[in-house]
């Protein structure tokens, strides 16, 4: 058998009709994108996402300098009121400690 006979047999209609179709190779695989990071992917999954982003609370907006200053003052005042009971206790503890030291000194 020669090479020309082999190619003739392989290319014959009888053989070609029994062969399965050629597999199609994909051009490239799509990259998985994280919808929590990529906004376009999130919009594909959740169309309501755009409306949600628009209706975010005001804290995400940019503040002007006076607004920042006022906010900083409010936070400082809140922090002081939050720690007031603790500072009162610390002051009482310091006072009782001083009294105890004075008593010990007086006894000597």
Q: Are residues 43 and 82 in the same domain?
A: no
CA distance 99 to 105: 10
Token pair listed for 54: 């628009």
Q: Does residue 23 lie in a domain region?
A: no
CA nearest neighbour of 45 among 31, 55, 30, 34: 34
Residues 90 and 53 in one domain: no
My answer on whether 42 and 81 are in the same domain is: no
Residue 77 lies in a domain: yes
Structural domain range at position 84 = 63-108
The CA–CA distances, whole Å, from 25 to 30, 31, 62, 69 equal 14, 17, 51, 62
For residues 55 and 73, give the distance between their C-alpha atoms in angstroms, rounded to a whole number. Answer: 27
Q: Is residue 11 part of a domain?
A: no
Which tens digits make up the pLDDT trace of 42-96?
Answer: 999 999 999 888 887 766 567 788 988 999 999 999 988 888 888 777 778 878 8
Q: Comparing C-alpha atoms, which of 39, 33, 38 is closest to residue 52?
A: 39
> pTM value?
0.31
């Amino acid at each position: 058998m020669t090479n020309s006979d082999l190619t003739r047999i392989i290319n014959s209609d009888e053989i070609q009709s029994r062969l399965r179709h050629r597999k199609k190779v994909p051009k490239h695989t799509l990259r998985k994108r994280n919808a929590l990071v990529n906004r376009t992917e999130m919009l594909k999954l959740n169309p309501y996402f755009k409306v949600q982003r628009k209706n975010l609370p005001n804290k995400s907006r940019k503040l002007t300098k006076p607004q920042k200053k006022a906010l900083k003052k409010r936070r400082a005042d809140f922090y002081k009121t939050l720690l007031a009971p603790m500072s009162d206790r610390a002051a009482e503890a310091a006072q009782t400690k001083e009294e105890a030291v004075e008593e010990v000194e007086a006894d000597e």
